[in-house]
């Protein structure tokens, strides 16, 4: 029986690297993203059966319907990875940028996560992976909505994990918290421990196989996570 996975946000960066990694593992793939040309290009490059769907998760109702379309075309899926997300440095605290981040990272995430969980509940099993961020651990001065939205994702996934336990379902929920990865999302000066997307994808795939509840990408970001949790706010404000 073919292994099947849907990647939400697959046109570049970690999402594209994950598509390549899963294709090499023999998965049938459903790939979504906002840029149709990049989806088509990626489909043509992969050595497996691929279903593509243009999707903007910020348009929640449309995205849910489009997710169902991909799901039906594939005949279901075993794995859903929600990688779609945005973030803006926002020193002027422009409310439009903050709200755009919330629309994509919170409302958009919930729309797909609930649809995926419902599918897995009907099947009796499945694996949901959500990409949060190391920024989920504390507030972010230069873009408050970004850190807050990632904290929401981590907390929401824990809620789904607890729900699966309560309902005694074989549904795995994995919270991936990357540090800096060499993608368009990695903006600004002073970046360190920047991982190539392929390395990030390889570690995420290992976490999927191990059915882990949570993982930092790359693994050494666990040290930064520990530090962030104990730093006082007066120190965080200077970072």
Interatomic CA distance for residues 176 and 83, integer angstroms: 10
Q: What is the pLDDT of residue 202?
A: 95
How would you classify the pairing of strands 125-131 and 4-8? unpaired
What is the domain-level CATH number for residue 118? 3.40.50.720
Measured CA to CA in angstroms, residue 166 lies from 126, 171, 185 at distances of 16, 11, 36
Q: What is the pLDDT of residue 221?
A: 80
Asked if the model's pLDDT at residue 63 lies above 70, the reply is yes
Average pLDDT in the chain: 92
How many domains does the chain divide into? 1
Helix ranges (DSSP H) in 25-143: 36-45, 60-74, 95-102, 109-123
Phi/psi at 99 (nearest 5 deg)?
-70, -35
E strand or H helix at 153: helix 144-166
Asked if the model's pLDDT at residue 223 lies above 60, the reply is yes
Give yes or no: 27 in active site.
no
**Average pLDDT estimate for 45-53:** 97
The catalytic position among 27, 117, 146, 216 is 146
**Average pLDDT estimate for 121-149:** 94
Tens of pLDDT, residue by residue over 35-45, are 999 999 999 99
Q: What is the pLDDT of residue 40?
A: 95
Asked if the model's pLDDT at residue 2 lies above 90, the reply is no
Interatomic CA distance for residues 39 and 50, integer angstroms: 10
Residue 5 · residue 25 · CB < 8 Å: no
Q: What is the pLDDT of residue 186?
A: 52
Q: What is the pLDDT of residue 234?
A: 82
Tens of pLDDT, residue by residue over 151-174, are 999 999 999 999 999 999 999 999
E runs forming strands in the chain: 4-8, 28-33, 50-54, 79-82, 125-131, 170-178, 214-217
DSSP label at 93? -
Q: What is the pTM of this model?
A: 0.92
Neighbouring CB atoms inside 10 A of 84's CB total: 25
**Average pLDDT estimate for 163-188:** 85
Interatomic CA distance for residues 160 and 166, integer angstroms: 10
Containing structural domain, residue 165: 4-236
Q: What is the pLDDT of residue 237?
A: 79
Q: What is the pLDDT of residue 179?
A: 84
């Amino acid at each position: 029986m073919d292994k099947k996975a849907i990647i939400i946000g697959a046109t570049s960066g970690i999402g594209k690297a994950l598509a390549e990694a899963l294709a090499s593992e023999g998965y049938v793939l459903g790939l979504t993203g906002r840029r149709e040309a990049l989806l088509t290009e990626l489909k043509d490059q992969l050595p497996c059966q691929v279903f593509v769907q243009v999707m903007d998760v910020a348009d929640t109702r449309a995205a849910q319907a489009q997710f169902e379309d991909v799901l039906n075309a594939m005949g279901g899926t075993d794995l859903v990875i929600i990688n779609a997300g945005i973030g803006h440095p926002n020193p002027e605290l422009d409310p439009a940028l903050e709200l755009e981040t919330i629309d994509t990272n919170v409302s958009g995430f919930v729309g797909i996560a609930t649809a995926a969980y419902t599918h897995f509940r009907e099947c009796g099993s499945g694996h949901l992976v959500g990409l949060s961020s190391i920024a989920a651990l504390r507030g972010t001065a230069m873009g408050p909505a970004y850190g807050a939205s990632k904290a929401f994702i981590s907390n929401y996934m824990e809620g789904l994990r607890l729900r699966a336990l309560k309902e005694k379902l074989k549904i795995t929920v994995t919270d991936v918290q990357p540090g800096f990865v060499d993608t368009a999302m990695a903006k600004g000066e002073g970046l360190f421990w920047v991982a190539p997307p392929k390395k990030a994808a390889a570690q995420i795939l290992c976490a999927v196989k191990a059915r882990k509840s949570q993982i930092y990408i790359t693994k050494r970001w666990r040290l930064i996570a520990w530090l962030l949790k104990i730093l006082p706010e007066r120190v965080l404000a200077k970072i």
